Each structure stands twice: as structure tokens, then as C-alpha cells.
Amino acid sequence: MDRKNTNTICQEQALGHLKYSGLVDISPFFNGSICQLFLVKGRKSLIVKSLKPEYCNIPALKSRFISEVEILQSLQTSNTLALIKSRVDIKRPYFAYEYIKGTNLDKILKAGTVSLSQSVDIIRQLLTILSNLHDRDGRLIHSDISPDNIILSKQGQVYLIDFGCACIPQQYNDAAHTWIGKHAYLSPEQAQGLQWTQQSDLYQVGLLFYEMLTGMRRNNANTTRDMLPLAANPPALELRGIDCHYHEFINRILSVDINKRYQTAHQALLELNNI
Ligand SMILES: Nc1ncnc2c1ncn2[C@@H]1O[C@H](COP(=O)(O)OP(=O)(O)O)[C@@H](O)[C@H]1O
Ligand SMILES: [Mg+2]
């Protein structure tokens, strides 16, 4: 059965079943944000994401949520999680999509160091996903590549989720984008309030790779306030402890100077494959 048919069947079965009384709130297990996540009783393959009630009357947040839905709709044909159902024309918008049995990278990192080969495999898969996303019409930028937005399935497949900060450069809007994203994982250009590009996504991938290889977050400030200046002007890279074969790759993907950074996800992927 192909993916399109599977979606259609899921959609028919799910219609009418998405009542909040039939949902189990799983948000307390994750870092808090403006959204709430639910599992659907009796429907193990579904997850529902909705704006928290207290944010539904804030137009900027509601339109950001709706933009996440629109991006997911536009990604239906690519290799991303299938959107099963969405309703944005109501007081409390939500969407239902595939639930991945697995663990997010944040939990994996907190549980201990990831091995070198597993780290390289995760970065390869991420760069492949980005390469597809970046090549799409409109040249989508994810903008929020961070450990809790990456899920590793039990089979080791990497999924990039949470398109709540994603944007396409033509629709870039200063006011809407200066405050979003996690401070510890901002690229220098994002932290400096400059327009960011697809290379900003690459920088964020570099931050993840660094963290997996060293067991330490590159931006190690303790408070959000201290993270911003560190993200904007990162100290010199400390590569001690990292396998020397990957020094050049880390240096380039984490280059503050965007001209020295890899230009595309595809280029970074080729370099990584050559190591
Ligand atoms: N499709 C999914 N399958 C499994 N877990 C998911 C899925 N979507 C989200 N999650 C879990 O919920 C957490 C929060 O989801 P996310 O979409 O990132 O919400 P937020 O916008 O609040 O950051 C993720 O870190 C992940 O662990
Ligand atoms: Mg998230």
C-alpha cells in the first residue's frame, strides 16, 4: 500500500474522533512551549498538536501555528511525517499527524554520549532531509534544528519535526522572527538579528554534531540572557576530544563567517561522506 492510500484511510478513520476528551495530554513529558501534544486513545499511530488555550487569542502565535500547518501540508509529497488532519478555522487550531515510536535527541543526549558512528549517521540523515527541504520550491528554512526537534525511531531513522519556526526567505518577516528559536541553538546571524538563510540550518546541525561528539553544548551559558551574546559571538572552537578526521568538517559547518561555511546541505553531506 503506498503512502498516499495509507493517509486516505487514516484520514477517514480519524474524522470525528479528534475530540479533546479522547486525547491524552503528553506535554508534561516535554519542554514547555506554546503548544500542547496529545496521544489519541485507541489510535497509537496518531499525535495531535494544538496551541495551548491561553495563546489562542494572540494573533501572532495563532498565525505562527497556522503557518506550521500550511508548511506541513506543502510537505506532504516529500519524505516527512504525514499530516493526517488539521483544523485551523476554529478557536483552538490543531493538527493530527503520524506518531513516531522512538526518542528525541534531547533525551538521548541527556542519557549519555552518543557514539561516533551513531553521531555521524544522525548527521548524515539530517543533512539528507535538509538537502530535500532546501531544494523545494520556496527554499524552506527549518530555523529550529535542536535536539528536541529530532526524533530517532527504534529502527534508527531520523525525523526532523516541528516546523513552527520554519520560513521561506521571501516571506521573512523581522518582527515575527526575532524572538523565536532556542537560544542555545541559534546561529550567529540569527542571534545578531540578521536575516538567516539555509546555511543557518547547517550551523544548527553543526551544533548538534559538536554536542554529540563532545557531550557538551557548544553554547554553554546557563541563562537564556547569557546565551544570546554567546550565540552571536561564539568563542573559538575547542576541538579537543573530537576525532581529528572530523575537525575540518566541524570547523566549516560551524564557521561564523557564512562565506567559509558549507554553502548547501548537499555539499556538507558529500564532505561528510568523504571522511
Ligand atoms: N510525531 C511525533 N512522534 C513522536 N513524538 C513527537 C512527535 N511530534 C512531537 N513529538 C514529541 O513532542 C515534543 C514536542 O513536539 P514539538 O512539535 O517539537 O512541539 P513544540 O512546538 O512545543 O516544540 C518533541 O520534542 C517530541 O519528543
Ligand atoms: Mg519543538
Helix (H, G, I), strand (E, B) or coil at 201: helix
DSSP state letter for 244: G
pTM score, whole prediction = 0.89
Strand pairing class (94-98; 102-104): unpaired
Which of 10, 23, 37 best tests ligand 1's pocket when mutated (most atoms within 8 Å of CB)? 37
Residues surrounding ion ligand 2 at CB below 5 Å = 149, 162
Q: Among 27, 30, 35, 64, which is best to mutate for testing ligand 1, by the most ligand atoms less than 8 A from CB?
A: 30
CATH superfamily placement of domain 3-98: Phosphorylase Kinase; domain 1 (3.30.200.20)
Q: Is 102-273 the same fold as 3-98?
A: no
Alpha-carbon torsion (60, 66, 68, 74), positive or negative = negative
Neighbours of 140 (CB within 10 A): 23
Domain ranges for the chain, please list them: 3-98, 102-273
pLDDT digits (tens, 9 = 90+) for 136-188: 766 789 999 999 999 999 999 999 999 988 887 655 555 444 445 688 999 99
For residue 140, what are the CA distances in angstroms to 68, 168, 232? 12, 5, 23
Angle between helices 198-214 and 116-135 (to 10 degrees): 170
How far, in Å, is the centroid of ligand 1 from the Cα of 103?
A: 10
3-class state of residue 49 by DSSP: strand
Q: Assess whether pLDDT exceeds 90 at residue 45.
A: no
In percent, how much of the chain has pLDDT > 90? 50
pLDDT above 50 (res 22): yes
102-273: CATH homologous superfamily? Answer: Transferase(Phosphotransferase) domain 1 (1.10.510.10)
pLDDT at 26: 86
User: What 3-state class would DSSP assign to 88?
Assistant: coil
Give the pocket of ligand 1 (CB within 6 Å).
30, 33, 35, 37, 47, 49, 81, 97-100, 104, 148-149, 151, 161-162, 164
